[in-house]
Structure 1
C-alpha cells in the first residue's frame, strides 16, 4: 500500500534503529539519561530557547504549554482550524479549565488586527486572554506556511498586551525548509514552541517543547502530572537526535512530490486541488466526481493507496520519507483510473 494518510506513518530509518540499540540510557525522571539531555540541548539550540523538554507527543507538548501559561478560567486565542482547537480532544478545557476563542484566519493565518481585536482583559463579564496560539505549518489549511514577518506582527501585539505566545510548530521544519530560513527566525517571535520528531522527520515517538528555563521547570512538573515522566528514555531520544541532524533538509523532497502530485490532480477532469500546496500536504476536492470523500478514499484503498477523508468532499494526501517518486507517479495513475472508471459507471 502507498500510505498517504499522514507523515505520522513514517517508519524510522535504519540509522535510527542502530542509534536506539546503542543509546546510553538512565532514569530521566532523576535527570540521569545522557541521551535525553543531548537531544534537549540540541533542540534548545536549534530553536533559540534557553531549555527544551522531551515529551511523548505534540498534543502533550501543546497542552503542557497551555497549562503553564494560563490560569483557570482564562481564554486562549487561536485560529478556528488549529490542531489545538480541533484535534486535541477538548484538552484545554478538560485539563486547564480555559476556554478557546477561535478566530478565522486566511489560509489558517490569523491577522494581527483580528488578534488584537479579540484580546479581552479587565471586564468582569469576560474571560481574560491568557495566551495566543499559532500553528506553523497549518495542517487543516493544507500545510500553509506562516512567515516570520507575519508572526512578528502578532508578536508585537502580544508584547503590547503582555500576553505570551505558544507556537504549535509540529511541522515547523517544513516551513523553515520552504523559506530556506533557520527555525530561530520563526521562534524569536514566540514565548514557547512545540515541534514534532515523529512526523516528517521520521522518529518513532516524541516531540520537543522549548522556552525559558522558568517555563521548562514548570513544564517538567506538568509533564509528570500528565503521566509523561519517562525512565530509560534515551532509546527514544536517540532517533530524535537523528531526526534533527539528518532528516530536516530532505523534507524538500516531500514538498517536491506534493507539488508534482498537485499538478497532476489539477490536470484530471472532476478533480482539483482545494488549497495552495506549499509543503507536504495536498487537499483534493472530489465534489465534481459526485463521490463523497469517504467513498473516494475507499476506491483509493481498492487500488492500493491510503488517504484520509478530511471534509465531506475533501481528501487529504500527505507525502513523507516512505513515499517515493514512483509511489507518487503510481498515485497519479490511480487517480486518473478512478475518475475514468467513475465516469463510465
Structure 2
C-alpha cells in the first residue's frame, strides 16, 4: 500500500529503533531523564529559544501553550482554517476557559493584519468584551496546501502583536519543512514567535512526540500544565532517543519529500479529470476530482482498493502528503493508479 494520507504514517528509522533500548533513562516527572533533557536542549538550541519541553502530542503541546499564554475569559485569535481551530477538539475552551476568535485565512495561509486588528474592541475598558491575549499562526499551513509564511509576514505579525502587548504562538508542526522551503535555518523562522510547537512524529519520522519551545519562564508554565493535562511521562527517554535522531538526521532529507510532492502535482496536472493546486512549496498536495461520475468518496475508495491511500481534507479536496516512507517510484506508481482508476480500466493491486 502506498500511504499518502499523512506524514504521521512515517515509521521510525533503523537507527531510531537501535537507539531506543540503549537510551539512558530516569524519571522525567522528577526532571531526571537525561535523554529527555538532551532532546529538550537540542530543540531549544536549534530554534534559538531558551528552553523546550517534550510533549506526548502536538494537540497537547498547542493546548498547553495556549493555556500558558491566555487567562481564563480572554480570547485567542486563530485562523479559521487552522489545525488548532478545526482539529483540536476546542481544547482551549474546554480546559482553559479561552474563547476562540476565528480570523479569515487567506489562500496563502496568512491572516491579514487588518482582520487581526478588527478583533480588538475600540474600548478595552468595557467589561462586556473578551479581550485578546494571544495571536496564533500556522506555518506551514496544512489546509492551505503546505503554504509557507514569508519571513517578512512573520515579522509584520510579530510587530503588530508587540504593538498590542500580545505574544505570538506558532503552530509549527512542520516548521522544518518551512525552513527547508525558505532555505534558511529553522531559528530564522522561529525568531518571530514567542512560543512554537513542532512535531517529531510527522516528516521527521520519530514514533511519538512534539516539542514546545520558548522562554524558560514560559516553559515552566507549560510543565505544570502538561502535568495537569495528564501528559507527564516517566522513562520517556525511550521516546526522546528517537526524537534526538529525528532532529539530528532527518531534517535535511525533507527536501526529498518536497521534490516528490512537486513530482506528484506535475503528474496530476496531466491527468484528465483532476484539478490540482500547483503551488507546492512543501510536502502537501491538494487536488480535486472533476471527472464525470466521480465523487471524492468513490475516487478515494477505488484508489484504496488499487493500493493507494489518500484522503479528503476539507471542502471536498483530496490531500496527498509525501514523507520518508514514499519513494519517487511510489509517486510514479500512485500516478499510474490514479490514471487507471479514472479511465475505469481494471487496476491490478500493487
1:250 to 250, 253, 256: 253
Question: CA offsets, 1:90-122, max 9 Å, x none?
Answer: 111111111111111222211223222323433
* SS of equivalent residue, structure 1 residue 279: coil
* SS of equivalent residue, structure 2 residue 25: coil
Partner of 1:276: 279
Deviation at 1:73, TM superposition (A): 1.1
Q: How far apart are the structure 1 equivalents of 2:155 and 2:114?
A: 13
**2:173 touches 2:198 (CA, 8 Å); kept in 1?**
yes
Question: CA offsets, 1:42-83, max 9 Å, x none?
Answer: 000011111000000111000001110111111111111000
**2:56 touches 2:208 (CA, 8 Å); kept in 1?**
yes
Partner of 1:39: 39
Question: CA offsets, 1:299-336, max 9 Å, x none?
Answer: 11011000111235311111000001110000011111
Structure 1 residues 291, 238: closer, same or farther in 2, change over 3 A? same
Partner of 2:81: 81
**1:291 touches 1:313 (CA, 8 Å); kept in 2?**
no
Partner of 1:192: 195
**1:287 touches 1:313 (CA, 8 Å); kept in 2?**
no
Q: How far apart are the structure 1 equivalents of 2:45 and 2:254?
A: 20
Runs of 4+ with >4 A deviation: none
Partner of 1:117: 118
Q: How far apart are the structure 1 equivalents of 2:20 and 2:126?
A: 53
Question: CA offsets, 1:189-220, max 9 Å, x none?
Answer: 11100010000000000000011111011110
Gaps (5+ residues) in structure 2? 346-350
C-alpha RMSD of the superposition: 1.2
Q: How far apart are the structure 1 equivalents of 2:248 and 2:65?
A: 25
Partner of 1:232: 235
Q: How far apart are the structure 1 equivalents of 2:337 and 2:93?
A: 43
**1:142 touches 1:275 (CA, 8 Å); kept in 2?**
no
**2:286 touches 2:317 (CA, 8 Å); kept in 1?**
yes
Partner of 1:19: 19
Gaps (5+ residues) in structure 1? none
Partner of 1:338: 341
**1:270 touches 1:288 (CA, 8 Å); kept in 2?**
yes
**2:266 touches 2:278 (CA, 8 Å); kept in 1?**
no
Question: CA offsets, 1:8-46, max 9 Å, x none?
Answer: 000000000011111000000011100000000000001
Deviation at 1:243, TM superposition (A): 0.4
Partner of 2:48: 48
Deviation at 1:249, TM superposition (A): 0.4
**2:54 touches 2:212 (CA, 8 Å); kept in 1?**
yes
Q: Is 1:98 paired with 2:98?
A: yes
* SS of equivalent residue, structure 2 residue 42: helix
Q: How far apart are the structure 1 equivalents of 2:101 and 2:314?
A: 22
Q: How far apart are the structure 1 equivalents of 2:286 and 2:92?
A: 28
* SS of equivalent residue, structure 2 residue 165: coil
In terms of mean alpha carbon deviation, does 309-318 or 222-231 score higher?
309-318
Q: TM-score, normalised by structure 2?
A: 0.95
